[in-house]
Amino acid sequence: MRTRDEMVYVAAQMYYLQDETMEAIARRLEVSRSTVSRLIQRARDTGLVHISLQPRTAGADALSRELREVFGVRAHVVAVREGTADVQRLEQVAQVAGRLVSSWVEPSTVLGLAWGTTTSAVVGHLTPKRAPGSAVVQLNGAANPVTSGIPYAGSIMTAAAEAFDARVHHFPVPAFFDYPETKAAMWRERSIRRVLAVQERADIALFGVGALTGPLASHVYSAGYLDPEEIATLRGSGVVGDVCTVLLREDGSYSDIELNERATGPTPRELQRIARRICVVAGTAKVSPLLGALRAGVVTDLVIDETTARAAIERVREPAGRGTWRAADAAVARLHSRERGQVDRP
């Protein structure tokens, strides 16, 4: 008598590889048709079978090519119906991103995660599979004056680790220290240096972009991490959002923003040490911080909905921005063209 796992495998093989009907599979396994349906569903749920269907349109293909030409990134543009609410838009983009990340994780892979609404959505769509020796490491601290951040960030890390049977490395520091000196002191502690060392070994980084405003505003700006005076100061200095809680302007600059001296996430320069850096974006409110991330050179792979991709390209084409940023955008594209030789193509 076959074990249940053997029946799952045989049912999936006959259905997907041999094009057998459920009735034929039921006769072969001597079970009911409904049992075959459940076996095939289990094959999908456990990751034995990977189904990938990415809707494509002529517009999406053109946008992918243009994003690659301008910024040198591999762009996965997801066709989402016009008028779709931002929450549903994020869900559809997260499905594609989750399958991509799952396809890239292999045994001994180190996956770095920057917590946030977008990352949480992507983790919910990871395809479970065993990746022995793999690890999931938190890239930025989560505590603030109101909460430890452990339940929120910890749940994201744990869910990702469970998908791959990986080890979790939490990062027990605040999102922003009160003083740069405190951060410098903590970075000398052995317990923190251990996590930083795992971050440096990351093979893949997964993150979104935080926006100062919008219906899906970043937790950094809506959950007590910064007070109103700090947010007002950021607006006044041209900050449009963040990547891994490191604040950015739309032109990609970040090094002269005072608050970044107290931020605990990796800077764009530090992120660039990671070979594959997947940024997931949904919603036109994210256009400005997305352009900041692209111009800072932190993205190698972009998963984005078609409407937001089009809005980003149109903003780059604006006459006021073209003369100012075109040379910088070309430099980013050249940087990524060199990096592509170091990363396996999907």
Backbone torsion region of residue 132, taken as left when φ is above 0, otherwise alpha when ψ lies between -120 and 50, otherwise beta: beta
| 103 and 346 Cβ atoms separated by less than 8 Å | yes
> Could you tell me the two tokens for 113?
């995660």
Within a 13 Å sphere around the CA of 125, how many CA atoms are in the beta-carbon half? 19
pLDDT for 341: 54
Closest Cα partner for 73 from 264, 340, 314?
340
pLDDT for 80: 84
* Cβ burial 298-337 (10 Å sphere, 16+ → b, else e): bbbbbbbbbbbbbbbeebbeeeeeeeebeebbeebbeebe
Work out the percent of the chain whose per-residue pLDDT is above 70.
Answer: 86
| C-beta neighbour count of 16 within 10 angstroms | 15
> What confidence category does residue 205 fall into, taking pLDDT thresholds of 50, 70 and 90?
very high
> What confidence category does residue 77 fall into, taking pLDDT thresholds of 50, 70 and 90?
very high
Mean pLDDT over 254-258 rounds to 95
Domains and CATH numbers, the chain: 4-45 (1.10.10.60), 58-342 (3.40.50.1360)
Tens of pLDDT, residue by residue over 231-244, are 889 999 999 999 99
Kindly tell me if the per-residue pLDDT of 254 is higher than 80: yes
Tens of pLDDT, residue by residue over 32-76, are 988 998 899 898 888 888 766 545 555 678 899 999 999 999 999
> What confidence category does residue 2 fall into, taking pLDDT thresholds of 50, 70 and 90?
low
Tens of pLDDT, residue by residue over 95-126, are 999 999 999 999 999 999 999 989 999 999 99
DSSP 16: I
pLDDT for 227: 84
Please tell me the distance from the alpha carbon of residue 166 to that of residue 27, in angstroms, as a whole number.
39
Amino acid found at 97: A
The whole-chain average pLDDT of the chain stands at 87
Q: Is the dihedral of CA 97, 243, 211, 313 positive or negative?
A: negative
CA angle 120, 126, 129 (to 5 degrees): 140
Kindly tell me if the per-residue pLDDT of 339 is higher than 70: no
| 297 and 69 Cβ atoms separated by less than 8 Å | no
pLDDT for 60: 79
Tens of pLDDT, residue by residue over 81-103, are 777 788 888 999 999 999 999 99
> What confidence category does residue 188 fall into, taking pLDDT thresholds of 50, 70 and 90?
very high
> For the residues of 59-91, what is the DSSP string, one character each?
HHHHHHHHHHHHH--EEEEEP--TT--HHHHHH
